[in-house]
Structure 1
Amino acid sequence: MTGPARRRPSRAETRRRIIDAATAVFARQGIAATSLNDVAAEAGLTKGAVYSSFTGRDDLVLTIMEEHIVERMAGATTAFADLADLDEATTEAGARLLAGIDSDATWHRLLLEYWGLAMRNPAVHKGLAERRARLREAVTAAIGKVADRHGITLPLAPEHLAVVVLALSNGLAVERGVDPDAVPSSLFSDVLKLLVTPRPADV
């Protein structure tokens, strides 16, 4: 008597499996030294299965990067949505962003490696620039919602402030990775507070 037929993984489940496997291999041996064969072996899949979800290694790397940033920014914007007091919300958002830096140090190392690769390869540079532009758009939209929610006067246009926030995150990750004591746990929150000011009440 045969047992029940094994359920075939969905496309989304296979994609998740590939992303998790690639993240592990990239972290272990770096992006440049990793092939799709390595990723497939880590995931227990064929190379063809990887290509059915991603066009190549660059597509996979960029997808992982985008996913990480979206998740981190979502956690920060949730703080602004959940907490009515602006000071408390800014403190919590900064704490969440810095916690993300600490828990995801490997990802920042990969970002720096891929940035170096992109600077030497026009095709890689183009793909990275396109994905970063999409991320800036998402962060810009989130900043606009936060400003409206809390009645904040932004010191810069939202799209420019998005660049500042992303650059701040990347820069603090580098400095904290080199010397953790140089980046106090409250620093991200403190800088965010300098960037947001409540609008004056109507007279």
Structure 2
Amino acid sequence: MTVRDQVYKAAEELVRSKPFDQITFAEIAKRAGVHWTAVRRHFGDKQGMRKWLMEQQMERQGSLADTRTRILEAAAKVFAEQGYAQASLEKAAAEAGLTKGAVYWHFPSKQDLFLAIIERNLTQQLQQLPLDIEQLLGAENPESALTAWLYAQFACLENGDGGSMLFFEFVTSSREPEIRAKLQKVYGKSLEAIGDFLAQMQQKGYIAEGLDPRAIGIMVDGLIKGLLIEWLIDPVRCELKPLLETVAQVLWRGIAPRT
């Protein structure tokens, strides 16, 4: 191995474990087993070295982010299909087409992986929800828009993509104290955001005065979860189209301003 190869190999190893702006010529030289002037000769000045290190770290972080997403998507499928008890990091790795070590690098335990899925799913929902609510309340026919929105929330049931069973796993696994605490924290954040947004909509006249917007948020969230459980128990009796049309009518006529 040439001196140049030693220097760049050492730099690549360091950039995996330290921020690029904290790495020095001396550290690279020590790891490479060369004098620090050899490092400077190959990188140029300190700014040139930092620029190279930053590019390497950004590229690596992007790759790691892609791998993490790949693991989460594969693991969500495994948890939904096999349940929390039967799922494992090994099965998630196999589903993602990765080694077990790659999964362990991102998630030290099955619980860490499961909690990451919960947080990811709820965060995605929370990011989309304000836009959904604003479009719904501002629609020409809010009742029809609410029906369409509810149907979209239940699309996973008819598509059979496993999302409904993944939710069920979230609920049943809450018997574990750490998972329950995480669920409470993330769901609490979601409900607070929904309540705040509904309060803004109430101020704009979209929701009747005298109603507690936070209570409305909890009620709608609880209703959706309850309907999901009912469907899981008896999908034949819980025919979605008429059910959701009725739910939309009751909800909207209950919270809309009196004219």
- Name the TM-score class by shorter chain: 0.7 to 0.9
Give the corresponding residue for 2:79.
26
Give matches, 1:124-143, under 5 Å: 124-143=179-198
Note if contact 1:105-1:173 (Cα within 8 Å) is conserved in structure 2. no
Residue 148 of structure 1, CA deviation: 5.2
Q: Is residue 93 of structure 2 the alignment partner of residue 40 of structure 1?
A: yes
Residue 102 of structure 1, CA deviation: 3.4
Of 162, 184, 187, the residue aligned with 2:217 is 162
Note if contact 2:136-2:146 (Cα within 8 Å) is conserved in structure 1. yes
Of 224, 236, 256, the residue aligned with 1:181 is 236
82 and 156 in structure 1: CA distance in 2 versus 1, 3 angstrom threshold: closer
Percent identity of paired positions between Structure 1 and Structure 2: 22
Give the counterpart letter for 2:148 in structure 1. Answer: E
**TM-score normalised by the chain length of structure 2:** 0.60
47 and 198 in structure 1: CA distance in 2 versus 1, 3 angstrom threshold: closer
Measured against aligned partners, the alpha-carbon deviations of 1:89-139 in whole angstroms (never above 9, x if no partner) come to: 2232233233344346623323323322322x2222211111111121233
183 and 39 in structure 1: CA distance in 2 versus 1, 3 angstrom threshold: same
Give the counterpart letter for 2:212 in structure 1. Answer: A
Which sits farther off after the overlay, 110-119 or 164-173?
A: 110-119
163 and 198 in structure 1: CA distance in 2 versus 1, 3 angstrom threshold: closer
Residue 27 of structure 1, CA deviation: 2.3
Looking at structure 2, the residues matched to 78 and 101 of structure 1 have their Cα atoms a distance apart, in angstroms, of 25
Residue 142 of structure 1, CA deviation: 4.2
Which sits farther off after the overlay, 106-115 or 62-71?
A: 62-71
Give the corresponding residue for 2:55.
none
177 and 149 in structure 1: CA distance in 2 versus 1, 3 angstrom threshold: farther
Looking at structure 2, the residues matched to 20 and 139 of structure 1 have their Cα atoms a distance apart, in angstroms, of 26
**TM-score normalised by the chain length of structure 1:** 0.74
Looking at structure 2, the residues matched to 143 and 85 of structure 1 have their Cα atoms a distance apart, in angstroms, of 18
Looking at structure 2, the residues matched to 135 and 159 of structure 1 have their Cα atoms a distance apart, in angstroms, of 11
Residue 22 of structure 1, CA deviation: 0.8
Gaps of 5+ in 2: 1-58
Greater helix percent: which structure? 2
Q: Is residue 143 of structure 2 the alignment partner of residue 96 of structure 1?
A: no
| RMSD of aligned residue pairs (Cα, Å) | 3.3
176 and 154 in structure 1: CA distance in 2 versus 1, 3 angstrom threshold: farther
Gaps of 5+ in 1: 1-6
Give the corresponding residue for 1:4.
none
Which sits farther off after the overlay, 159-168 or 9-18?
A: 9-18
Give the counterpart letter for 1:26 in structure 2. Answer: F
Give the corresponding residue for 2:67.
14
Give the corresponding residue for 1:199.
257
Measured against aligned partners, the alpha-carbon deviations of 1:174-195 in whole angstroms (never above 9, x if no partner) come to: 2222322322413234323323
Note if contact 2:118-2:170 (Cα within 8 Å) is conserved in structure 1. no
Give the counterpart letter for 2:225 in structure 1. Answer: N
Looking at structure 2, the residues matched to 64 and 168 of structure 1 have their Cα atoms a distance apart, in angstroms, of 22
Give the corresponding residue for 2:142.
86
